[in-house]
């Protein structure tokens, strides 16, 4: 089973971190193939950046789709997830959706803890887009600066624990999701300091994509994720333009 772990951020260190976590969580026989966007922003924190990242992710998928059995969209707000599912014949999961669905199996209500206030509205909209607002107690952000995006976990570990504990007092969730690529792998480090289950989005995504690939689902021929008809385009990357034009039923 070959799984593409697609980081639509441009920070290679984040991809390396998520790939280590994903490989450790994967079953024997599952190969994680990490790839990092070469264009875009170091880390996505706004709606506009997410839209840009989603388009770049589709370009990458157009080039690599034939060699993999499933895809993980490895950015917590799941940029481009719906479009990828519409385009691809193989299963696709997103970190945020996987984390939230996993959290729903561990408790009645979950909360999201993250590392930057700029992420809060985007993550809240992601919850709503997945129809899980009634299961989400809220989004809480740790305060304070960090020197670089890859240093978030090391520099903010104590503040993230404090935020999780404050979240428990204020919102009373049953489960906490540690949200964002920089927090991948943090859950087992702090699990004994937070008295509710902690969910890692990368681990959740790996286990869900393995299950979906094993089911060998057919591509939808009806409904909202069926393939649309082929269409000509202008100015797109060659592989993406061909994908739009040639690989669709009339």
Type and span of the H or E element at 117: none
Q: Tell me the pLDDT tens digit for each residue of 67-102.
A: 999 999 999 989 999 999 998 999 999 999 999 999
pTM: 0.91
Distances (CA, A) of 152 to 103, 181, 183, 210: 23, 10, 7, 29
Q: List the chain domain ranges.
A: 2-94+205-246, 97-201
Q: Which residue is listed with tokens 């880390």?
A: 43
Torsion sign (Cα): 238, 55, 229, 84: positive
Q: HSE, CB side, 13 Å, CA atoms: give it for residue 236.
A: 20
Residues paired with 138 in a beta bridge: 111
The pLDDT of 151-174, averaged and rounded, is 94
- pLDDT tops 70 at residue 157: yes
CATH number attached to the domain at 2-94+205-246: 3.40.50.12500
The pLDDT of 118-126, averaged and rounded, is 85
- pLDDT tops 70 at residue 190: yes
CATH number attached to the domain at 97-201: 3.40.50.12500
- pLDDT tops 50 at residue 13: yes
Q: Which of 39, 31, 22, 110 has the alpha carbon at shortest distance from 74?
A: 22
The pLDDT of 47-74, averaged and rounded, is 93
- pLDDT for residue 112: 96
Same fold, 2-94+205-246 and 97-201: yes
Are the C-beta atoms of residues 180 and 76 closer than 8 Å to each other? yes
- pLDDT for residue 249: 47
């Amino acid at each position: 089973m070959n799984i593409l772990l697609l980081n639509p951020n441009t920070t290679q260190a984040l991809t390396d971190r998520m790939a280590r976590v994903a490989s450790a969580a994967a079953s024997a026989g599952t190969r994680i193939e990490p790839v990092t966007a070469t264009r875009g922003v170091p880390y996505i924190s706004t709606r506009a950046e997410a839209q840009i990242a989603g388009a770049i992710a589709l370009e990458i998928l157009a080039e690599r789709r034939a060699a993999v059995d499933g895809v993980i969209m490895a950015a917590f707000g799941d940029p481009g997830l719906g479009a990828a599912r519409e385009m691809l014949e193989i299963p696709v999961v997103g970190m945020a959706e996987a984390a939230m669905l996993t959290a729903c199996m561990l408790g009645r209500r979950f909360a999201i803890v993250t590392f930057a206030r700029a992420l809060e509205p985007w993550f809240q909209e992601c919850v709503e887009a997945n129809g899980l607002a009634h299961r989400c107690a809220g989004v809480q952000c740790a305060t304070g600066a960090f020197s670089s995006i890859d240093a978030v976990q090391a520099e903010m570990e104590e503040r993230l624990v404090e935020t999780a504990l404050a979240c428990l007092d204020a919102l009373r969730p049953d489960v906490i999701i540690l949200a964002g690529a920089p927090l991948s792998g943090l859950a087992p480090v702090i699990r004994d300091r937070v008295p509710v289950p902690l969910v890692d989005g990368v681990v959740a995504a790996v286990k869900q994509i393995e299950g979906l690939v094993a089911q060998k689902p057919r591509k939808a021929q009806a409904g909202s994720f069926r393939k649309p008809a082929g269409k000509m385009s202008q100015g797109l990357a060659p592989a993406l333009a061909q994908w739009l034009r040639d690989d669709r039923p009339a």
